Amino acid sequence: MSRRKKDLSAEDKRLWSHVARSVTPLDPARVAPEPEPEPEPPVVVAAPAKPARRTATKPAPPAPPAPPPLAALEKGLKRQLQRGRRDADARIDLHGLTQEAAHRRLIAFLRRAQAEGHQLVIVITGKGAPKRLRDIDEDMFRPDPYAPRGVLRRVVPEWLSLPEMRPLVIGFEEAAPGHGGAGALYVRIRRP
């Protein structure tokens, strides 16, 4: 612990001078002079503060509820579809359409299916044509000849996964081979 000299506070100095006056010095020549009393700081009286003006703040609107997660098809329903014991309530064929046209038709179809009370629909996207040797010349005239084929097959599941589709869609899965296989999707429709 370091021993360093501390400055005495005004209260400590006053107390020390009181104690020093009560003691008789051994050598009267070495009497320490009494410290001058420090002037007390002036008391500043603050003007009464105006009450803070309360501004009416609107509480933040509650965040919209998170959309429910997508659900897979139930095993029993999937088995019935694969065995042909159950068929879809409706179907739409999108292949051959542009992405914009396919997106518009898909949304309109899903809304109509929900309004009509359908529970399960099939969305046919097509598998995308495989590259063949004779397609090379045709590909040269496409806007992007190196883009993968089967664009709708790739983007329709992305569209169905979007939060804005959750009020319409419960879940989706690749269809059984008898209903189009990799080129089609079973889509469960949410009740209105």
What is the mean predicted confidence (pLDDT) over 45-68?
Answer: 70
Q: At what angle do helices 99-115 and 151-161 cross, to 10 degrees?
A: 50
The tokens 């409706």 sit on which residue? 90
What is the mean predicted confidence (pLDDT) over 108-137?
Answer: 80
> Would you state the pLDDT for residue 177?
83
Number of H helices, E strands in the chain: 5, 4
> Would you state the pLDDT for residue 117?
93
Of 27 and 145, more confident? 27
The tokens 């879809």 sit on which residue? 88
Contact between residue 138 and residue 145 where contact means Cβ atoms under 8 Å apart: no
Contact between residue 192 and residue 186 where contact means Cβ atoms under 8 Å apart: no
Query: Is 63 buried (19+), middle (13-18) or exposed (0-12) by CB count in 10 A?
Result: exposed
- Provide the token pair at 62: 């509650």
> Would you state the pLDDT for residue 104?
93
Per-residue pLDDT tens digits for 75-93: 888 888 888 888 888 999 9
CA dihedral 140, 141, 143, 148 (to 10 degrees): -50
Give domain limits for the chain.
68-129+147-174
Per-residue pLDDT tens digits for 136-183: 555 555 555 555 568 888 899 999 998 888 889 998 988 888 888 888
Per cent of the chain over pLDDT 70 is 71
Task: Name 188's bridge partners.
Answer: 120, 171
Other Cβ atoms within 10 Å of 77 Cβ, number = 16
For residue 169, give the H/E element and its range: strand 169-174
Query: What is the C-alpha to C-alpha distance for residues 32 and 13, in angstroms, rounded to an integer?
Result: 13
Of 124 and 65, more confident? 124
Task: Tell me the pTM.
Answer: 0.57
Write down the mean pLDDT value for the chain: 78
